[in-house]
A = this chain, B = another copy of it.
Amino acid sequence: MQGAGGIHKGEIPGLMRITSEWDLLGKIRERVGKTGLPHPESLFKGIGDDCAVFAVDDSTFGLLTTDISVEHVHFSRDFGRPADIGFKAMMGNVSDIASMCGSPRFALVAIGIPADTMEEYVLELYEGMIEAANQSGTIIAGGDTSKSDVLTLSIALYGEVPRKKLAARDGAAAGDIVYLTSTTGDSMAGLEILKTGDRARIGRYPDLVRKHVRPMARVGIVQEISQVFAPTAMVDVSDGILSDLRHICTESGRGFVIDTDALPISPGLKAFTRETGSDPRTYALESGEEYELLFTSPRDLSATMNVNLNGIPVTAIGKITDKGYSLVRNGVMVKAGTGGFDHFK
């Protein structure tokens, strides 16, 4: 779910005495990669993707992923009910499985609980996790519990994917179309609205708020995506389209151009950005934790007006190129800076 993929895909937000989180992650990768692997041929992917991939049998890959959610870093008790926090933490893991074109099977829930936590709060966290598990066909099969000074949810998920359908990050080819499920941007707008604490406003944008507190992983349409598009690379939108598409391009050794005018925008985000005088495309490009799927495919269905899989629209938003990261806005092509969309405002 977090950015860097695979081994230590997480980012460490905020300042650390550790000077650069990416530097640290690189060093961890290097050390872990040096372990004398007893049977490396069975571990298909360990580093650089949303899940570790290993051989179960001749036709099936096993998928393993984990995400740690820490209070004050990933969530705040102020902006979400415990059931929402549990739901989102579970969905983040499910989304990692979906991004490989897989199906989740079993979840393990490790939880650290501060001493002053009310029992009901913990049980509601579980209600949310159970709801997300039920909606995605996941079984909560085990876990561990500890006291902790900070509320921590660490979920690990095992899933499976037919070998032929595995969608990794490194298969994008120049000329492939970039597709996105549903819309992005709502989660970021929803959080902004929640942070105002303005109840009337929160009530006016229920869809935006809901996308922030109850995002749905697209695990229900991965079979259809596989059949219709045969994706060459896929990620879930956890850091924002700009950032996540970079992950595909880094692993595939390619570049991209995103047509920002083609970005799908929800009616709620349109209304919200009209009210605030902001550009919905900024939200669409930078909003994370959306759990939409972003994938590349040589199949050009962009001329088809409505590609719709089980009610979820799929939109062509750009192309894979040989190299470089570019954005098109109002027909003009500009470079995408590392800071994303803002750089060409």
Contact = CB atoms under 8 A, between A and B. Distances in A.
Contacts of A170: none
A31 B143 CA distance: 13
A2 B62 contact: no
A239 to B, nearest CB: 13
Given A64-B106, A115-B16, A126-B28, A149 B149 contact: yes
Contacts of A101: none
A178 B2 CA distance: 47
Contact of A51 (B118, B130, B142): B142
Contact of A7 (B37, B122, B143): B143
A7 B142 contact: yes
A330 interface: no
Contacts of A247: none
A306 interface: no
A27 interface: yes
Number of copies: 2
Contacts of A105: 42, 54
A140 B7 contact: yes
Band of interface residues on A: 35 or more
Contact of A150 (B51, B127, B140, B148): B148
A115 B14 CA distance: 8
Contacts of A118: 17-18
Interface string A38-51: 10101100110001
Nearest to A56: B56
Contacts of A2: 144-146
28 contacts: A1-B144, A7-B141, A8-B143, A9-B144, A10-B144, A15-B115, A16-B115, A18-B119, A28-B122, A28-B126, A31-B123, A31-B126, A32-B130, A35-B130, A35-B134, A35-B139, A38-B137, A46-B141, A57-B57, A66-B109, A68-B145, A68-B148, A70-B112, A70-B152, A73-B146, A73-B148, A110-B110, A152-B154
